[in-house]
Amino acid sequence: MLGIGEKHELPTVLLIDDDLVSREVIATVLTLHGHMVHTAETGDAGLEMLMSGSVAPGVILMDAQLPGLSGAELIGRLREQGKAEIILISGSAPPEDLARAADGFLMKPFAPEDLQRVLGEHVQKPAGSAVQPAEPVVNPETVAQFRQLMTEATVREIYAAVVTDLHKRLAALEKAIADGDSDQVRRIGHAIKGGCGMAGALEAARLGARLESNSDQLDNCAEALPELYSAIKRLERMLEREFPA
């Protein structure tokens, strides 16, 4: 357990990663930024820590490929033990079922500022503090127009299709960036911008435009992938909340 100089407004982190180097580096970075950090080498070990009550994390960072208990099954078991946000960390895009089960994603290797950006979404807000309104997941005017023209089931189908398409394009982007194919990155970004723009998916459309305009800067495009993943997760949560199946 690490926690030198922890800031109590920051969430406690449980880091589950079977790679010793990754585990030590990430834990050190988090500790230096003020987080209390607990580490586990396997999913089983992390689950045992939660079940024993020895840790009560606000955020769980979990490697997408662990020995033993892992994947969506592990996420389900972890959720039974508390309300911690679960963020996947991996060197490649996770399978779709695993992506849907988690709350966020960071691609390895990631910079300290990337880690802090994702964790910053889960900082505990002091009681009574002012919260700035976030960009809406979808344009409410677009949703209202859809609802006037279509049934609720049809509107749900549209946004479910958007989510499915974005998962596929995220995987295609990862491959295109790894292959150094800037033209393919530009095409995918353009498609995301257009499709999500028509659906009113504001954040995803903005990221598509960013990928299209920065397609010749593949490092910058790679940095946008975790943001796109988070945008997809927010769309999924909106879908479940506004259009329950």
In a domain, residue 92? The reply is yes
Asked if the model's pLDDT at residue 172 lies above 90, the reply is yes
The CATH code of the domain that includes 218 is 1.20.120.160
Query: Does 197 lie in the same domain as 226?
Result: yes
Mean pLDDT over 166-192 rounds to 93
Mean pLDDT over 225-235 rounds to 88
In a domain, residue 98? The reply is yes
Per-residue model confidence (pLDDT) at position 38 = 94
Question: Are the C-beta atoms of residues 195 and 162 closer than 8 Å to each other?
Answer: yes
pLDDT in tens, 26-82: 888 888 878 889 999 999 999 999 998 888 898 999 998 898 888 889 999 998 888
Measured in whole angstroms, the distance separating CA 229 from the mean position of its chain's CA atoms is 5
| Edge-first strand listing for the sheet containing 37-40 | 37-40, 13-16, 59-63, 85-90, 104-107
Per-residue model confidence (pLDDT) at position 117 = 75
Q: How many domains does the chain have?
A: 2
Per-residue model confidence (pLDDT) at position 123 = 55
pLDDT in tens, 104-139: 888 877 766 777 777 766 555 444 434 344 567 888
Per-residue model confidence (pLDDT) at position 183 = 95
pLDDT in tens, 191-222: 999 999 989 999 899 999 999 999 999 888 98
DSSP states of the chain: -B-TT--TTSPPEEEE-S-HHHHHHHHHHHHHTT--EEEESSHHHHHHHHHHTS---SEEEEESS-SSS-HHHHHHHHHTT---EEEEEESSPPPHHHHHHSSEEEESS--HHHHHHHHHTTPPPPTT---PPPPPSS-HHHHHHHHHHS-HHHHHHHHHHHHHHHHHHHHHHHHHHHHT-HHHHHHHHHHHHHHHHHHT-HHHHHHHHHHHHTTT-HHHHHHHHHHHHHHHHHHHHHHHHHS--
In a domain, residue 5? The reply is no
In a domain, residue 158? The reply is yes
Query: Does 149 lie in the same domain as 65?
Result: no
Query: Does 144 lie in the same domain as 116?
Result: no
